[in-house]
Structure 1
């Protein structure tokens, strides 16, 4: 009787599961319905399905996927502890049993202790576990729990349920396939949505971008795409633009640019390289605009052959307009700088020339009078003129260097000789204050590659500054060429630099004492000039206290090239251009200013002096006479300059070896290229000291007379 009931029960189970397997519901729904059916037929408390996955760490891991339980039993499908359970080591026996294709079955009290603890926590009394296989491997298992009785699972029931589990296995495989298909479908849908979104974004971008974009077929050059910006540039609808195939687009190119555009297009098609070209586009509205076209090729990923010829067209009309404005502004700026430079040059000339006359005549008065009162008056004139000259020089030097008119012009120079020449010009003034100069040049004589004007100006300003603030004592100059640097230290014994003004030493027009109570003369431009000149040659300067009193200015100038050698001193031959020792020892003065002519005639009255007002007059004179020394002003007004005259004099038959000194209000840097070789032998800057000019002429005339 018991066997018959089982047969009817199990037969009814298989009969009930078959329609579910053949239904069109999803595999997951079919599994759930099947578990519900098995629960009802078997009368157990809970039926469930776990997957079984191989794991390199835990051997296998398992998670509950489906569950069906009686109404009075608490479901465990949402229990997180039943997800990703490590099978090893506690349930290793189960896997080993599955691999033998046998069920795990029995009363819980008979299970190993490692398995029993967790199962008893769920009140399970008896258990049947049947494996599901795929390709010979266990992939899942179905469990039957009884929490009410210790159920005796006979072989008949186990076999019947095993057949049912096989059916569930087919559903599980189908479910996995459906899940895989579902995920693939979701991925496809997501990818499609992304593509659609990106397409919309691309369309929006191409339609709203300020650049024109087009794409042509690489085979027949037909226009496949043109965005709205491009059609707006051409001023015609996209449909019409697509009809302009081949070279018909050239009708929209400015006639002057068509040949260039055609060449660039042909170059792009032939070489397949990216090409960029700027040209003028004439739209349908006859409006002309400058555009920049960038052409590139898109290649077929499979064949590697060109698939599309694409381009980007950018309206650069505004850029061109701004560039034109910038060029005009640059030209205007250069013209203003040229005018400013000319103004500064004229100011220098117009101030220094009369200053030379004032100082010169004052010196002549001092030299030619025994009247003490008149002598003091002329001395005061000289002092005032010197102060005015220093102020003018500082203002002009600062103006030209601050405006960027001065450029470094390095040449091979002797630092020692440059500093000695400077000291000679300052010694008399220093001695009157009770100061003396001390020069220490370490090592042998050196030639350095450096701008002599910058070195001279920097040192002169630092000397003036040191002299101004030193009432007595000495000014020591320490010079050393180390590695590729020129190191110069100027130490005075003056009052030093107050701490509160150290941070503004290089500010223009600032002084240690200011306002109505200031105690020192000056414009406050000396150190700013030094600072700017040193910046031009990447030099540095800083100040330190000089014990026990005074200041040390430390200058460091990098040199492009330094070499140590004996100075090759140039001895000038004063042989003149004639051999008649009885001839007059003539001096030529070339100057267009009548005041300066009068000054020089008075100063050099003991010599045979010829005066020329223009270069042309001077050329006529050197053709007739031989001169031992020529004093030539650079700015001679309309006509030939003093520089041009010097070149002619150097080539003349009678005066090629004469000593020629340039008399000018220009800076030394402006005449650097005309000094020495095939040019002037010396530069005399206005306003000059007339006594020094007299001494210079006397020296060279006496040399000629001695050698003659």
Structure 2
């Protein structure tokens, strides 16, 4: 207390112990015989110390109180510890309430206002607020007050226009440096630099604590606590607990900014996806749809909800299901990160077939396990149609060009054949004429010899033998001349390939004309077997049909490596003339059979064939409103079957009238 025993002698107890009502205290002491409680001791230097005091009375032999004695214990440290603990609990309750507000309040501003209120109460401050940094093109880094809570009777500053755009360069460069380093600013304003005092003093601030708020590793702004009633010195414990509050605010702002950015990104992505002209989708590792964008309904007519949770293979055509299911059943193979340009067709709700090309990215977790596939499907139906139209046009151009080339070749061949036939026809005519004269002369000579030398011309005479030799020679000459005449006639018939008009003809004559042309190529190793049925004469383009026969027979000849046969069979069935040309050559594989009539396709070596012959045959038969098919087996041979209508003239006339 600073007093010695002499100083205390004669001093009233109430003065030393700060008893507010000495008479009442004395009365209670006498009645109860003692006192136990806390009193404030006034020290000599003016301090007030809390003491735990025990006082009891002393009585004489008659029971009268003659004196009082007591003992007191300084409990200043205990009281300080209790106050610090109480303050810490107060702060922690405030921090807990602040945390609860930030976690449970969905609204950003409401959450910060509620959190500031709890921090205001916990810190026993006059004003709590948040400032946010921003860059100004004119003023550089600036601060702007965004949230504020004030105690009763304290003037708010949230509407102060100066605090909505305040550059750090205008007197607060020190704050910019300290807060930017992550350190706090605190203390009585009177001790601050003059330029800071002027601005802070105008707001009635006597003491202040300011902590930086960090968001995403960057200085976002600061949280501040003003004391406007009296100056105060804050302890390290105060600063530590309030820094925790600033960190909580920073984490909250960071999470909200992240949520906002995520929400904006999601909205932007959803807007892009839902308004995209392509179908966006996601599929689970087992191949089931987890998301399909609305464009799916626009493209197919199906409701998206019908396919969510369903296998993606439900959309595919039957021939593509097996391939896709095999891919999904392997769990989206390890080596696949992207599936590029997978084309598939879908039958829409109205029965239309539409083509799509899909690009799918495989998403994996850190362990490499497939999470899902995300992809985009682009409708390529119109492109497919254009490509098919282009391919068709290209095929038609190739066929037209091939037809033109083939026609020119056949016309040249026809001219050559006609020329050769003409050159042969003149001498063979002379041979036939002279042979007839020779036959008559030999007959007359034989008769004359028989009349003049009847005894020398007998069955065994030399002269008769000579006459028999001459007769046999004449027969052979006659047969050969007739054969040559037949060949010339067929060559002249085949030579009429440039005749474009429709004619009624005997199809067997066309076959024989063509066989005559290839006779030299096949006579030594190929047997020609004819099985001609009863076919009436019918309208066709004979020159073009001869072109078909020549192409198929040449292919058959080339397919027979050594000894073989070619069989030609004709018959009437279902009012159609059937012409079958078969060979026992090498045959054609199933794979090549599918492409046998495609322009440019050939199984022959380079320089042997152009791949246009059968394509032209197909076009010629189609032009006759007929059909040409092929059956073949490797190692066993090939059969081409041609079917021709008997009334082509009527068909063409009917189509002409329709147009």
> TM (normalized to structure 1)?
0.28
> TM (normalized to structure 2)?
0.30
Whichever of the two has the greater Rg, that structure is 2
